[in-house]
A and B are shown apart, each in its own frame.
Chain A
């Protein structure tokens, strides 16, 4: 069965620090998709990135970067030079190619960036 583990429940950093949010997943499929979503204090869920299992290239988007490593079943998310606006709950999610079940989410990591 598919499973996503975000071991960090809460992280607090001072503005301009770098921070990495960990995500470990479990799946029996060879084809699957990994996602990160952001939930700011306003409550909506904002899509950040999708990655398929055949693409292990790291990705950078501005201050955000993602490190996908199949060998360790991890899809970690790093924010460089954090800002107060980055304060949110971040969810990692997994979708398997087989079967019908949609996204399975981790329990989320609450990031607080302090000015």
Chain B
């Protein structure tokens, strides 16, 4: 099983550019979420989805958009990249929202210059 697949693994953007971080899971999980990891800050929730067509904001949503048109995919869009968005991004999925473990992708290391 592939589990949760994130692409790309590394990306360098210039300030103001836009891009989409891809996330796909093959476990038929309803719940998916995006986190960013910064030194000393742990993992902070950006956006999450409780099922196809349903998304909501997390702790740090500004500058990011998401959509969930299928159960499998949950892309994260950076509309106009800023240096403050330099981070490692993790996508996660889980069968249930609260009481089962989340499976994480390998992460995307994004640098905005």
Contacts and interface: CB of A to CB of B under 8 A. Distances in A.
Contacts, number: 62
Interface residues of B, number: 27
Main DSSP-derived SS at the B contact region: strand
A43 B90 CA distance: 10
B66 to A, nearest CB: 13
B101 interface: yes
Nearest to A103: B102
B31 to A, nearest CB: 6
Interface in B29-70: 31, 33, 35, 40-45, 48, 50, 56, 58
Interface in B59-113: 88, 90, 92, 94, 97-104, 106-107
Interface residues on A, range: 20 to 34
Contacts of A6: 42
B97 A108 contact: no
Contacts of A64: none
Contact of A100 (B56, B99, B102, B104): B56
B102 A43 contact: no
A35 to B, nearest CB: 7
Contacts of B99: 33, 50, 52, 95, 97
Given A100-B48, A100-B56, A101-B58, A106 B42 contact: yes
Nearest to B101: A47
A67 B81 CA distance: 43
B54 to A, nearest CB: 9
B90 A45 contact: yes
Interface of B: 31, 33, 35, 40-45, 48, 50, 56, 58, 88, 90, 92, 94, 97-104, 106-107
Query: Which are the 7 A-B pairs with shortest beta-carbon distances?
Result: A107-B42, A95-B98, A45-B104, A105-B43, A47-B101, A105-B42, A102-B33
